[in-house]
Structures are given as C-alpha cells and as structure tokens.
Structure 1
C-alpha cells in the first residue's frame, strides 16, 4: 500500500507500536501500513490481537508481527525488541502509545495510584526508549520516535492530577530527547491528542490487583460510563493515526492533532509572560541563557552538545 502524502524513504522500514490492539495505536498502525512500513504491534488483550490480524488481512495489508506486552515489564520489553529485530532484521521507528486514563483527586491519591499511573504512562515510555533506542540507532535510513502523551501535557484538570503529571513528564522527556536524537538523524516527536473515539475512559475498571490499594474513591461505574459517552464525540482514531504519521515523516517535533485549543494556548502564553518579573536581568545570567539557546539551536541542527557548551 502507499499513501500520497508520505514522502519516499519510509516504505519497508520497521515500526514498533505499543497499545496497537485498538484506538489510537491501531489508527497509527494502519497509517504506517498505508505508508508501506512493516509492523510489530503490541497488545494486552488476545481477542483484540486476533481482530487486528483479521482486519489487516481483510484490507489486504501485510500481516503484522503481534507481540503481547505489558509496558511496565522491562524484561518483556527487551524480548519484544529482540523478536522484532530477529523477525524483520532491524527496527527503525518506535511509537510509544500505550497508557491508562484514571481520574480522582490528587490529594487523595495513594502510593499505588502513583505507581500504577506513572508506571504505565511515563515508565512505559521510558522502558520502551531504553529497550528500543539501541536498535534504532543501529538501523539505517529513515528512523523516528513518537511518544504519545495527551493535551493533558499542557492542560491540567481537577480530576486528572496524576494522569496530567504523567503526561507532563512524557512531554518534558520527549522535548529534551529530541536534542539527543538529532545528531543520530533520528526524528523525535511529542504527540498530544485530545478527545478521541476510543475506550480509554474505562481504565479504572481494569486496575491491576497489584495496585488495588487506591486512595481514590470507589469507582462509580455508572458515572464513569456516562463520562465515557463524551468519547463518542471524539476524533476518529484513524484520523489521529494519519496525523501522527504525517508529523513523523515531516520531522515535526510537536504533533497536535486537534484544532480546538487556541484559546487555551493563548491563555497559557499570556499568563506565563505576565508572571515574569518586570526587571532587568544581570549580564552574567543573560549570557548563560544566550549560551543555552545557542546550544539548543546546535542540537536541533544535529550537532552534539555537552555540558561545556552551556558555560
């Protein structure tokens, strides 16, 4: 298959997508398939994996390599990357997509709440990077990493403190990692989708027993399912997937899939500027910040930067 918006160089490359059994992960997988990439897809639910295999076959797509993965399992991550490289001969692209959406007041959260949400949403991304980056650095041709966060990486909410913290962490890591990967010729993007037509709202109903000691109130399944109806108004995950892949091949550092946040970003910008003290900074501090900006520009241009470049 081919996609008219995909430039040459990506067909035949190998992509590993986590959480690809449904939702955005599956949407990304189908868009990558359209671009001619070969796919290793991870899943938690065997029934979803079977459905993906059937869907790809019915649509005439090349069969993906399906691999079970809990993204918090570091040993399994190493096996997944090794199996992918053994099967295809290389790994060029990592799409860190798997995550959980859990809501509750942050002031009531337990250690188990933090361990679960941060462990999956941030720890899962970190585990993927540690496992996959050596193979991606060793590969040839077009390569890239996309860490899928959320608009919660910019917009906090009263019921999403831990979820927001995990997505802010993914944002900070990805925006820094971009400068490290540029000298290797590896694209690195932060993707922040918003409301998407998925079942992401039901994570609290699938809480692992190991993290059962929650400080959040008991799950009100009726209220949760009512909340889930909002997702029916969300963007089609295939559209999100196409936008992610288009951003990857353009080399975008930030991929925003939904257009409805101009007012929010304007407010963040204006509040941030207004919070800066209205006073002169001393020359020595200004010089340090000039060096920082120059180092960032160098790194973005693909020039390796060290601590010596910052003073």
Structure 2
C-alpha cells in the first residue's frame, strides 16, 4: 500500500456485503491502509472465515453486523451500532448486490422488486442511514457506491440488473455534487468480471419474491456460467483500485482496462445520434449555465435552482 493511501489510516469504514467477493477485497485493502472496519454479512461461515483473516494478521477485528440491505429498520440500527462502537464513521461503501439474469420481457413484479430492491434500494438505505453520521464526523470522508460495468453496457439477459446499475450510476453522479460542499468525496465504481461467486445469486432468491417470470435455471447451467468468473480480476485488486480512487478523489473508478472498445462505440453512437443542426441561443445559454453550475458544485459550492436559469 502506498504512503499516499495512508491518509485513510484510523478512518472508520462501513462496507456492505463485505465477507465475500468484492466487499471482502475492499475490506482487506482498507485494512492494509490502516482503516478500522464495520462489515455487514449474511452467512455465518463466511463471517468466520473473514474474521480469521484479520486475526491471523494481528489486525483489529472488525465490527461484524448481520444485515439484509433491504431492511430499512435494521439498516438504521446498524448505523447507530457503528457510531456507538467507533464514535465516528468516515467512509461508506455500498457494495452488496445480486446478479440475476433472464429475458426482461418475461420478468414478473417479483423479479423487478427483488433485484431493484437489493441493488438500488440497498444503496438508498445505506445513504439515508449513514450520510447524517458521515456529515457529523470530521476529517477525510468518502462514499463509494459499487455498481458494475452494466451501468454502461446493457445486455439481453440483464435488463433489470442493468436498470439497477444505471440507477446507481445516476444517483451517485448527482450525489457527488451534493456532498462536495460538505467536504465529502463520492465515487461510482464500476467493476467488470471479478473472481467471485456472484453467479450463485439466483440460488438464494427469497421466498417472498418467489413468483419469477424467468424460466427455472438448472444448477449445472449456472455452474457453467460461473466458470467465466474464474477468469475474473482478484477482488483484492478491485478493492485496492477503489482505495486509490478514493485517495485521488475520483468521481468514477473503473477497475478493468478491457472495455475501451465498448466506450469508443458508445461515444460514436451518442455523437452520431445528435441532430446536425444549430440550437437556439436561449437553449444554449441554459445549458452553459448548467455546465457552470456543475463545475462550481464540484468545487464545493452549493448549487441552487436559481443558478440554472
């Protein structure tokens, strides 16, 4: 870990979905930077393995809190618990999510409610519960919302998943302007293929969202799909890149280099879709005011509605 990242030493971070996959990679990278940790989990065996990782290295054992990120009342309790334990909280990483796929035109209400409830609703619950605590704390502070490369790249089997990640992207990019005047950094992280067990999400569907419009997926088919994840980036590398992005105060953290062709195609498609005509002076003025307001917001100046007209 670089000396630059040591600016986070002693800072308190709360990470959701933090005992497996990317969440665990974030927790380990944060620990290496000297941060104190509160980690949410669902599975006791995974929690025990994570606790052992810290104990074997002589690190401070994190505060482990059992949490379903869709449970707003429990999320509020956890925020109080973290404050009671540490006295302050400086970093929030909303990471927990489910990866479930199927044709969007066949999706049921339960499909939408479950996936959006976890992937977007879980982020909302984290923000509502923890932002007042972070604002009340002092020093270097940051919020990271972990989305996915699906926040930019839709797919035929990932309509709801993509919608949830697009929503996290839009929320985070706007939130960054709101948090800047408080001296709080805010980053959107969009990882791509990572060595995790995210593909098992479909096997963990809650009974309360059991009425799926998707055809049942054979476990063997899921396991075959899961082999792709074996080619993925190590979660610790993703966690380290998130830490570095926080240190550098980057609004967007992209962890995987292989998507250059996708972004080039997106850029070309968007530019080609713009009408080739002159815009009237009035509209040009409004858009210039918007751009100036966004630049001011990035500098920490509060933007009001009257600044946009």
User: What TM-score do the two structures reach when normalised by structure 2?
Assistant: 0.99
Alignment-derived partner of residue 110 in structure 1: 108
Structure 1 segment 19-34 matched on structure 2, within 5 A: 19-34=17-32
2:201 aligned with 1:219: no
Pick one of 80, 84, 87 that aligns with 2:82: 84
The DSSP-based 3-state class of the residue aligned with 1:260 is helix
Tell which deviates more after alignment, 233-242 or 214-223: 214-223
Pick one of 271, 287, 290 that aligns with 1:289: 287
- C-alpha separation in 1, matches of 2:8 and 2:165: 28
Q: How many residues align?
A: 309
Measure how far apart 1:60 and its partner are: 2.0
Query: What does the per-residue CA deviation read over 1:162-209, in whole Å, with 9 as the maximum and x for residues that have no partner?
Result: 000000000000000000000001000000000000000110000000
Query: What does the per-residue CA deviation read over 1:210-253, in whole Å, with 9 as the maximum and x for residues that have no partner?
Result: 00000011122111110000000000001111001110111010
Query: What does the per-residue CA deviation read over 1:76-129, in whole Å, with 9 as the maximum and x for residues that have no partner?
Result: 001111000100000100000000000000000000000000000000000000
Structure 1 segment 144-293 matched on structure 2, within 5 A: 144-293=142-291
Pick one of 22, 33, 36 that aligns with 2:34: 36
**Contact between 1:106 and 1:161, CA under 8 Å: does it hold in 2?**
yes
Unpaired runs of 5+ in structure 1? none
Measure how far apart 1:8 and its partner are: 4.5
**Contact between 1:295 and 1:305, CA under 8 Å: does it hold in 2?**
yes
**Contact between 1:11 and 1:35, CA under 8 Å: does it hold in 2?**
yes
**Contact between 1:6 and 1:35, CA under 8 Å: does it hold in 2?**
no
**Contact between 1:13 and 1:38, CA under 8 Å: does it hold in 2?**
yes
Alignment-derived partner of residue 74 in structure 1: 72
2:141 aligned with 1:132: no
Measure how far apart 1:7 and its partner are: 3.9
- C-alpha separation in 2, matches of 1:283 and 1:236: 51
**Contact between 1:153 and 1:167, CA under 8 Å: does it hold in 2?**
yes
Measure how far apart 1:142 and its partner are: 0.4
Measure how far apart 1:6 and its partner are: 3.3
- C-alpha separation in 2, matches of 1:62 and 1:266: 44
Unpaired runs of 5+ in structure 2? none
The DSSP-based 3-state class of the residue aligned with 1:6 is helix
**Contact between 1:25 and 1:97, CA under 8 Å: does it hold in 2?**
yes
Q: CA RMSD in A?
A: 0.7
Measure how far apart 1:5 and its partner are: 4.4
User: What TM-score do the two structures reach when normalised by structure 1?
Assistant: 0.98
Greater than 4 Å deviation, 4+ residue runs: none
